[in-house]
Each structure stands twice: as structure tokens, then as C-alpha cells.
Amino acid sequence: MNVNPGELNKKIEIVLIKKEKSNAGFQQNKEEKVIRKPYAKVTRTSIKEALRDGSEMAVAKCRFLIRYADVPITNKMFVKYNGLYYHIEYVNDYEDSHEYIEIMTGTGVPDGSF
């Protein structure tokens, strides 16, 4: 495994956002619960990768690599990083080693925009 632990240098939060319906029937954010506050290596999809994968150019992907923990992370959660919220699309036990977790997300959005 070629992971340099020193590259896990960005503080992120894994959050679960509970929603409820307002009196008018619209979904609104009720509560933000922090699940974990790990350090991560953050990488973004390059244009070359997006073209190769046939992805839309406006839909940039972001990858967060964190240390493994037994706290479950699901696609109902968000990664909060640098003032933006990234919806978790995929969680992977990196190389099935129980050492690192790879989290793939969509494009980051400001609070309340999801």
C-alpha cells in the first residue's frame, strides 16, 4: 500500500443531516450530527479522468482518503470540508486492508443547497 500518512493533512467532518418537512411541506435541514472528524487526503477528478470516464465536465468528483475506523459511513452522509458539503456516493475499505477508507463524493455545495 502506497499511502503516505503525512498526506492526510486536511481536517474534514463526516456529518449526518436530519431533515424534516416544514409546515408548508418542504424539506428543511433540522439537525447536523458530526459522526467523525478525521484528517484526510483530498484529491479531485482531473479533466483528463472525467473525459476518459465519460463524465459530465460540470460534475467534478472529490475523493477523501481517511484512516479506517469501525464507525460506519454511508451514502446518506456528507463530508464537510472547506465550507462546502460533499454528498457521499461511495465508501470503500481501501485495498480491503482495514487501514484506510476511500470516500468518493460529488461536487461540493454550500450549506442548505442540497
Centroid of chain to Cα 90: 8
- Predicted pLDDT at 63: 94
- The SS3 of residue 50 is helix
- Predicted pLDDT at 114: 61
pLDDT tens digits, one per residue of 32-63? 899 999 999 999 876 655 556 665 555 678 99
pLDDT at 98 over 70: yes
Q: pLDDT-derived band of residue 111, with 50, 70 and 90 as boundaries?
A: confident
pLDDT tens digits, one per residue of 79-94? 999 999 999 999 999 9
Q: Which CATH architecture has domain 5-105?
A: Beta Barrel (2.40)
Q: Which residues does 103 contact at the CB level (< 8 Å), separation at least 6?
A: 14, 40, 63, 64, 65, 66, 73, 79, 88, 90, 91, 92
Indicate the average pLDDT of the chain. Answer: 85
Integer CA distances (angstroms), 66 to 56, 79, 101, 112, in order: 26, 11, 5, 25
